[in-house]
A = this chain, B = another copy of it.
Amino acid sequence: MSCITTLTRTLRQRGYRMTPQRLAILQALHDVGHLTPAQVYARVRATGMTEATVYRTLDFLAENDVVRVADRGSGHLAYELAGEDHHHLICRACGAQQEIPAEVLRGMLDALEGHTGYRLNAGHLTFFGLCPICQESFTAEPVYEIVGG
């Protein structure tokens, strides 16, 4: 049974409906990985859909755990289909990206749950830092305490 069929049934059971707009957006997210609202709109505007609908739908799908949101520091949120849980690591110097399997942080999240009593969401954290290559370029120039010469 198709993935869409399952999703459609899930939404209906919650009192929502499947629409061609939602299908088109899901298809766009399926074709590419992460997409900003503007990028999604670029891929579905041919259908006549409004930009407002894109924002609304992405928010709706995220609210229903069908897609994941991520603030990757670009100023625009990125959306992707909810699949295998993972996190993101971004170099704030060169922009290099790296995915982190959810298992890597599982232990930490479990510890945090124990520490706080909260039940944490599985996913999609974004970490920022310097990749190995960019670290060298920056070692000679620390962010703080520039003594100057």
Contact = CB atoms under 8 A, between A and B. Distances in A.
Contact of A112 (B10, B104, B143, B146): B104
Interface residues of A, number: 36
Contact of A100 (B100, B112, B132): B112
A118 B132 contact: yes
Contact of A13 (B71, B121, B127, B146): B146
Contacts of A144: 10, 65
Interface in A50-102: 65, 71, 89, 91-92, 98, 100
A135 interface: yes
Nearest to A91: B118
A73 to B, nearest CB: 9
A130 interface: yes
Q: Which of A14, A108, A143, A144 has the most CB of B within 10 A?
A: A108
A144 B7 CA distance: 10
B143 A118 contact: no
B127 A112 contact: yes
Q: Which of A89, A118, A131, A144 has the most CB of B within 10 A?
A: A118
A132 B120 CA distance: 11
Interface string A107-134: 1100111011111110001011111100
